Structure 1
């Protein structure tokens, strides 16, 4: 397993604790405020980021963290006491892991910890990429969202852990149990366990998962985002038509799409750019891309190039295509036939 068993274990514990906090926030009193870019953020985002960064830096004090949030809105909107109450509640419930994860006991330490997520990323050193609640709009709707943490060494993702509290164990079965913890380590594989169960240690004793590389392209099940602002639905429809996929896409928020693909519940995830200048944030894809890679799938930009997580806080590429190896080359070829080999016609689909 190499040298990353501890990193994977701490990531699992921290993501699970943070995910339980977000569930409690959702059940007890959901609160959202708007950031400068008009995107929503909740006390769940802030609480989860504080818990995870505190856990990571307790165990690996020399590491850096690329986190999505900062504490400015906490201070501006006086959210600190509310966040602290939720963190203290979950720490009490999960006190068996305090020695491994540490505790937060006042508003100042929460804000200071959240602000330790301002690493610029890059190609050197040990860096964690964190999205405390990926899919905040889904979270606010009571739908799909994920708590996502990835560990990178010299710009390469080595560990990815994702908590999916609302994702069915079988996406095609409405009566299926919900809630999963997904873990991937480079060169080791991707694994799944029920989020409600006690953590299985080491994670390699849990259920190993694989993409379904046996399904033909015409029968492929496609995942797309819910929000139209996140991906070009017009271009997605043209791609599906170009490869003769007849099935209706399943729309899901967040990196749960990577998890469903890695588990064999779908074959293709399309995220096409809505703006030719937009670049994806690394925390939105780092953990999920490794999960798909280690389950036997393939992840690239819309031109078939590997995603580069060493560029900084963003990917220096356009869009994301995750799929089975069976379908990937055909999907990329179809995209290029529509937008041009180098995206000469892409802008007309970015509306």
Structure 2
């Protein structure tokens, strides 16, 4: 059954990905959610509708938590997740992770789809339609990119590690916290990247392109699929204090495992955990 969960999710992600590839940089309706860096377009909504249709056609008894069906803001996201967690099977969907990139025509837009069973993520896919890279994982079944097994990188120290983070939409608090982390980590790691998609960063940790990723104030749909990818690829996923990941975690650290404690320690010393 787990193979069917993944195959249906992959098919839904590919269909949504066609919309993204066809419309990147050409959105007609661009709106703001919580700020002018938290955007939504008609393609986000169309993509989520496509995914919902595909998932419910295959699994009509399952529940779906999608970003575009939730009111803006961290509190609303947390509340929606809390209400949805009682579902036996819950699909968690981000129809376009990297909407700002999408609006500007900047590569780095993904579709992220995860399935949780009684609160535990058991299947996840992240699809980059611009590179045609499909990342997929199932609990206990490994992680893959376009059908080939992937594994996290082997860096053992921050000094040789390439990290990634983002710039949270909340400029009042979360961005300031994240910038403290950047300031503390930049001198001690090889370098830091910010591609504009948390899901893409997680996929890149899973396949070894990044040594680690952290960010403050993300949502379940940003992280659920990527958390399983990293874990099944041999990495580690926790909150920014080192507590093991669950769907309610909003401040994330995902690494190859070797550098995890080092990363957490720097964030704690810089008062950059958000916790």
TM-score, length-scaled by structure 2: 0.86
Query: Is structure 2 residue 215 aligned with structure 1 residue 263?
Result: no
**Which runs of at least 4 in structure 1 moved beyond 4 Å after TM superposition?**
226-231
Classify 1:35/1:214 alpha carbon distance in 2 versus 1 (closer, same or farther; 3 Å): closer
What do residues 148-178 of structure 1 show as CA deviations (whole Å, max 9, x unaligned)? Answer: 1000000000011111123xxxxxxxxxxx3
2:101 pairs, out of 124, 131, 138, with: 138
1:6 equivalent to 2:4? Answer yes
Give the Å deviation of 1:135: 1.2
SS of 2:196's equivalent in the other structure is: coil
Query: Which residue of structure 1 lines up, in the alignment, with residue 77 of structure 2?
Result: none
CA shift in 2, pair 1:336/1:36, >3 Å? closer
Deviations 1:42-69 (A, max 9, x none): 1211111011101111111110000111
**Cα gap change, 1:304 to 1:123, in 2 (>3 Å):** farther
Deviations 1:92-116 (A, max 9, x none): xxxxxxxxxxxxxxxxxxxxxxxxx
Aligned-partner Cα distance in 2 for 1:7–1:58 = 12
Q: 1:36 to 1:329 in 2, by over 3 A?
A: closer
**How far, CA to CA, are the matches of 2:52 and 2:82 in structure 1?**
12
Match of 1:217 among 138, 151, 158: 158
Deviations 1:324-344 (A, max 9, x none): 11100111122223329xx6x
Corresponding residue for residue 128 of structure 2: 164
**Alignment size in residue pairs:** 258
Displacement after TM superposition at 1:217 (Å): 2.6
RMSD, aligned CA: 2.5
Partner of 1:69: 68
* Structure possessing the higher radius of gyration over alpha carbons: 1
* 1:236–1:270 contact (8 Å) kept in structure 2: no
What SS is found at the alignment partner of 2:133?
strand
Q: CA 1:4–1:33 in structure 2 vs 1: closer, same or farther (change >3 Å)? A: same
CA distance in 2, matches of 1:250, 1:128: 29
1:120-158 CA-to-partner distances (Å, cap 9, x unmatched) read: 321540000000001100111212111110000000000
Aligned-partner SS, 1:69: helix
Match of 1:188 among 141, 144, 162: 141
Distance 1:337 1:324, change over 3 A: same
Partner SS for 2:134:
strand
Distance in 2, Cα, partners of 1:71 & 1:208: 34
Alignment gaps of 5+ in structure 2: 72-79
Mapped to 1, the partners of 2:200 and 2:250 lie a distance apart of: 20
1:42 matched residue in structure 2: 41
Matching residue of 1:236: 182
Aligned to 2:18: 20
Alignment check: 8 A CA contact 1:299 1:321 kept:
yes
Q: Which residue of 2 aligns with 1:308?
A: 246
| Alignment CA distance shift 1:69-1:290 (3 Å) | same
TM-score (norm 1): 0.68
Find the aligned partners of 1:215 and 1:207 in 2 and give their Cα distance: 24
* CA-CA distance at 1:238 after TM superposition: 0.8
Determine if contact 1:226/1:252 at 8 Å carries over to the other structure. Answer: no
Alignment of 1:90-109 (within 5 A): none
Give, in whole Å, the separation in 1 of the partners of 2:28 and 2:127. 21
Deviations 1:27-54 (A, max 9, x none): 6x32233244243211211111011101
Give, in angstroms, the shift of residue 253 of structure 1: 1.1
Tell me the equivalent position of 2:117.
153
Structure 1: stretches of 5+ with no match in the other structure? 73-116, 167-177, 194-205, 274-278, 310-314
Label 1:322 to 1:36 Cα distance change in 2 as closer, same or farther (>3 A). closer
Between the aligned partners of 1:41 and 1:318, the Cα distance in structure 2 is: 20
Q: Distance in 2 between matches of 1:22 and 1:318?
A: 26
Cα distance in structure 1, aligned partners of 2:241 and 2:206: 21
- CA drift of 1:215 comes to 4.5
